[in-house]
Amino acid sequence: MQIEVICTGDEVLTGKIVNTNFSYMTQKLEDVGLAVRWGTTVGDDRETLLDAFLHASRRADAVIVNGGLGPTVDDLSQEIAAKAAGVDLVLNEEWLATMEAFFARRSRVMSSNNRKQAMLPATAEILDNPIGTACGFAMDIGKARFFFTPGVPRELRRMLEEQIIPRLLAKGGTPGAIHLKRFHSYGLGESHVDQLLQGVEELVPDGSAKLGFRAHYPQIETKLTVRGANHADIDQKLGPVIAEVRKRLGNFILAEDDDTLEGVILKALQRAEGSLALVETFTGGQMAARLLPLPGAEGVLRRGVVSRDLTQICDAVGLAGGEPLDITNETAEAVARAARRQSGASHALAVLIDLDTGPDRIDFGGTICIGIAAGDHVESRRSRILGGREWVRLGAVELGLDCLRRYLHGLPVSERIDFERN
């Protein structure tokens, strides 16, 4: 099946907004084994829209159109769809009622503009939008089935997953169900993960398991897709593959599915009725900024301190008065211990960084000393990361948080990672 995605709107065409809807859609389709062949972007202009719809109707079997379903005069998708198919626009009473109920529930008056959103091509099949007033719809134009979707990301996402993907899978003749399992890892490069997982797909002999990777430094996402006749069939196939992936990637898996590194840390601390003090240098508040927005974090992250000046750090955690210190594992342990004691937290994480000097460059690096304190216990880890200022900063945030995750889960804090150079 040949699929085309058409994104509409002047804001997308002129780059006023970055088109994340496109990558979201193609990624989601890819995840269920549907490959997109063409992407087209056009503005809110009748002639180019019509041209784009007609061109797609000739070359594709399925077309997803995004945007242009709003109430304003520059929202043209219904009008041009009707024109491309040679059918009339008619008022859809069902959607009008849905919209009126939508506004009534929110005690708001529906503006007369919104009526336009219920004007649909005569042959349109409604695709429900439970969270907005833009009416999704599907219809044939030429040889292709078109799916019209709202530009608002959360409305698009829900409609794509609940309404469009099932229809595309049915249209493509794909039998049964599909499941996507995701593993987030840190410390192994993409090609290393790929190599470690060689042969895992073959654990499902009928070829219905597929692995894919997505690198967003410093994490790698491993995606495992399994098809089956039904959910029970999928569960049976998935079990041994998931076990094997977990075994091979081992301690490097930091979270699965919708979980995140910071979420896993928060959960582990909450489970232990623990709390945390953070000490940051060149990471500049980014570790705190990962944890603190999470609901419930206010009760766990007791205190964060940030400075690029080690004397300030020592003063802030009550380590003042001693000899001037260097950035070493011993210092990181002492700082973590002092921060824990001073804040009354059960755990403390200190990430101290000795940054190279001079201008930013590809081999610019930093030496990172990480200290973790809990009760009377301290641990530390030293690492060196190269790759430019921003690369070192991102790497240090991840390494620091990952060491804490390992500590909280009883895993070895020091395990060599692909990104370090010592």
Q: Which of 44, 75, 262, 280 binds its own copies (CB under 8 A)?
A: 280
Of 66, 21, 46, the residue nearest 54 (C-alpha): 46
Residue 4: CB minimum distance to its own copies, A: 10
Piece of 11-19, 123-131, 365-373, 375-383 that binds its own copies (CB under 8 A): 11-19
Residue 421: CB minimum distance to its own copies, A: 18
Q: Hey, what are 211's tokens?
A: 């692995």
Q: Hey, what are 151's tokens?
A: 């530009």
Distance (Å) of CA 124 to CA 17, 87, 145, 146, 278: 29, 10, 11, 10, 56
3-state secondary structure of 119: strand
Q: With the C-alpha atoms ordered 230, 232, 233, 234, is the resulting torsion angle positive or negative?
A: positive
Residue among 41 and 123 whose Cβ is closer to its own copies = 41
What is residue 314's DSSP assignment? Answer: H
Total of chain residues touching its own copies, rule CB under 8 A? 63
Binding of residue 286 to its own copies (CB under 8 A) = yes
Task: List the beta bridge partners of residue 141.
Answer: 144
How far, in Å, CA of 1 to CA of 10, rounded? 29
Helix (H) or strand (E) holding 158: helix 153-159
Piece of 169-177, 244-252, 259-267, 296-304 that binds its own copies (CB under 8 A): 296-304
Q: Hey, what are 78's tokens?
A: 């219904």
Whole-angstrom Cα Rg for the chain? 27
Helix (H) or strand (E) holding 343: helix 329-343
> Distance between terminal CA atoms of the chain?
50
Binding of residue 254 to its own copies (CB under 8 A) = no
How far, in Å, CA of 116 to CA of 70, rounded? 8
Binding of residue 298 to its own copies (CB under 8 A) = yes
Q: Which of 13, 119, 203, 253 binds its own copies (CB under 8 A)?
A: 13
Residue among 138 and 305 whose Cβ is closer to its own copies = 305
Residue 369: CB minimum distance to its own copies, A: 17
Q: What is the x/- site pattern for its own copies, positions 138-167, by CB under 8 A?
A: ------------------------------
Residue 322: CB minimum distance to its own copies, A: 18
Binding of residue 291 to its own copies (CB under 8 A) = yes
Counting Cα atoms < 13 Å in the Cβ hemisphere of 372 gives 20
Residue among 124 and 339 whose Cβ is closer to its own copies = 339
How far, in Å, CA of 285 to CA of 258, rounded? 24
Residue among 229 and 320 whose Cβ is closer to its own copies = 320
Residue 74: CB minimum distance to its own copies, A: 15
Which residue reads 């020592």 in tokens?
314
Q: Which of 301, 332, 350, 372 binds its own copies (CB under 8 A)?
A: 301
Residue among 19 and 129 whose Cβ is closer to its own copies = 19
Relative to beta strand 136-141, strand 144-149 is antiparallel
Binding of residue 128 to its own copies (CB under 8 A) = no
Site residues for its own copies, 180-209, by CB under 8 A, read: none
Kindly list the residues in this chain that would bind its own copies in the complex (CB under 8 A). 7, 12-20, 22-28, 30, 35-43, 45, 48, 52, 55, 214, 278, 280, 282, 284-289, 291-293, 297-299, 301-309, 312, 315-316, 343, 389-390, 393
